[in-house]
Amino acid sequence: MSEQTNYTEDNIRSLDWKEHIRMRPGMYIGKLGDGSSPDDGIYILLKEVLDNSIDEFVMGAGKTIEISIQGERVIVRDYGRGIPLGKVVDVVSKMNTGGKYDSKAFKKSVGLNGVGTKAVNALSSYFRVESTRDNKSASAEFAQGNLTNQDLLDDTSRRKGTKVSFIPDEIIFKNYKYRSEYVVKMLKYYVYLNPGLTIVFNGEKFHSENGLKDLLSENIKDTDMLYPIIHLRGEDIEIAITHSKTQYSEEYHSFVNGQNTTQGGTHLAAYRESIVKTIREFYGKNYEASDIRKSVVTAIAIKVMEPVFESQTKTKLGSTDMGGELPTVRTYINDYVKRYLDNYLHKNPDSAEKLQRKILQAERERKELSGIRKLAKDRAKKASLHNKKLRDCRVHFGDTKNDRNLETTLFITEGDSASGSITKSRDVNTQAVFSLKGKPLNCYGLSKKIVYENEEFNLLQAALNIEESLEDLRYNNVVIATDADVDGMHIRLLLITFFLQFFPEVIKDGHLYILQTPLFRVRNKKETIYCYSEQERRDAMEKLKPKPEITRFKGLGEISPDEFVHFIGADIRLDPVMLDKDMSIEDLLSFYMGKNTPTRQEFIIDNLKVELDVIEEDL
């Protein structure tokens, strides 16, 4: 019998608020990360501070919010009512303290549990809050949640409002950096949801007068819209909807009280249902739901009294009631869409006719594909997906709901040696591996039919569970892990083409990444340094002189599992695949994967010259 561990009073610990947050940060801000993903912790810290400023605007106080991010330091300044001066320390350092518990002061706000800024405070190496109101000002400074200084000014000419400055703690967030693309996307959502609000980020202004209509205009070009955006606004609900001429999948943006609910929830489920129900009744036809929703691009925002989210990061709504005297979320949304979308279609017969033609086209395509889809699903089962092509993670074993875990990752790799190294090195709880055999097909310009006919694409689609909607995506992070050589780069490009062609929202919503693995290992008897570039190799050689041993990794298979564990663990380096906002997906695919050979050759030669010039300078 194994020796039992003594269990005494000494084993019982009481943690204060900041110790608990720092020990269990995931409970408060979701995953940590390094800033390569839009849901990494450093963006949640910014969001938690910003949400308070947004709530001030919603309550009619302050129309401008200023944000500065310079390196590691973040500053958020609003011109709202300002925190009551006697409570400046308490609201950022005493749990379950805040104005959101008083529905008279804050109605339909984002934050309700008094945790947000406390988490930011505890997880920052430096945190400062300053409030100005009634010509007086109070400030407090903290380090890792510990109060280091506080001050009170009796007279000040500063404008009223609140200013928060913080630096995320590098002990918690290792090797992090803010990516402006993710910050800008977050800020655009805030102004879309709060028409009349101006946010200034590092000198650049963001403002919207048309709400969700502006959001859709940002995400779909006029030339790709099947009909003009239908934009409907009520007191506690706003929707915008159109259909794409070229996109295969459904695209949804959903919000509750200004929060982007990336994983949907009760409101999105009700909205998807209401679109189908309303359109069926309008045309008097029992169309398939998938035919109605195919290629839809839409957004919904609702306001709920005291919303219940399924996590502190508020990415999925759990509330079933709107609050107060209002009906359930489902009934409220169904009734609103039924009345106003139906009215719009009656008043705009041209849009209604185009929509019906699109539905009928989707119906024909579905029927043509039905036999192929059935065979494809049978093939996926026979391929023993969860044993042969896909080595799944434990999070999904026995999972029937397919709820997405923010930590889950799927590595897509090629070759037995590479997939073997990753499989042996991975965290089996949250990391899965999908093995390709050879290069995927160039699917540019091909129809969705090819996804079911091509074994690789069919099995990958099944592994990700994205046939119908991104809402069912099983892995939060989809990582392309290929060799850093010409063949590996080609495989990356072909896989990115697959997603752009058939599932662009995987990229648009920030789920697709490229795994960075070291090109060199530089070591001596005392230290080993892994280098991801020529410059890092030179720096390592300088540090480890004289004459360290240098190994050039030619492929992932050459890296042993014992070493690989470092590159897909806490120190993982991921480069997010992002879309150029000034180039459409069709233009992007046409340039890189189409037949414009002379133009592309010129582009490659020009960029190759730049690379050669850099190498010559280094030499």
What whole-number percentage of the chain has pLDDT above 90? Answer: 42
| 373-429 confidence digits (pLDDT tens) | 777 777 666 665 545 688 888 887 545 444 567 789 999 998 777 788 888 899 999
Q: What is the mean pLDDT of residues 201-225?
A: 93
Q: Is the pLDDT of residue 90 over 70?
A: yes
The per-residue pLDDT for 176 is: 92
Name the least confident of 179-183, 227-231, 550-554.
550-554
What whole-number percentage of the chain has pLDDT above 70? Answer: 85
Q: Is the pLDDT of residue 261 over 60?
A: yes
Contact indicator for 193, 262 with CB cutoff of 8 Å: no
Who wins on pLDDT, 420 or 522? 522
Name the least confident of 44-48, 94-98, 124-128, 229-233.
94-98
Q: What is the mean pLDDT of residues 570-583?
A: 80
Give the chain's length: 619
Q: Is the pLDDT of residue 442 over 80?
A: yes
Name the least confident of 168-172, 262-266, 309-313.
309-313
| 523-533 confidence digits (pLDDT tens) | 998 899 999 88
The per-residue pLDDT for 462 is: 87
Q: Is the pLDDT of residue 338 over 90?
A: yes
Give 180-185's long-range contacts (Cβ < 8 A, gap of 24+).
Answer: 180/69, 181/578, 182/35, 182/38, 182/43, 182/510, 183/43, 183/46, 183/67, 183/69, 185/38
The per-residue pLDDT for 613 is: 45
Q: Is the pLDDT of residue 610 over 60?
A: no
The per-residue pLDDT for 230 is: 97
pTM (2 d.p.): 0.81
Work out the mean pLDDT of the chain and round it to a whole number.
84
The per-residue pLDDT for 381 is: 66
Distance CA 69, CA 75 (A): 7
Nearest C-alpha neighbor of 442 from the set 488, 501, 390, 512: 501
Q: 591: which 2 tokens? A: 């340039």
Nearest C-alpha neighbor of 321 from the set 415, 263, 236, 242: 236
The per-residue pLDDT for 582 is: 63
Q: Is the pLDDT of residue 106 over 50?
A: no
Q: What is the mean pLDDT of residues 163-184?
A: 93
Distance CA 76, CA 167 (A): 12
Contact indicator for 585, 504 with CB cutoff of 8 Å: yes
Q: Is the pLDDT of residue 437 over 90?
A: no
The per-residue pLDDT for 24 is: 86
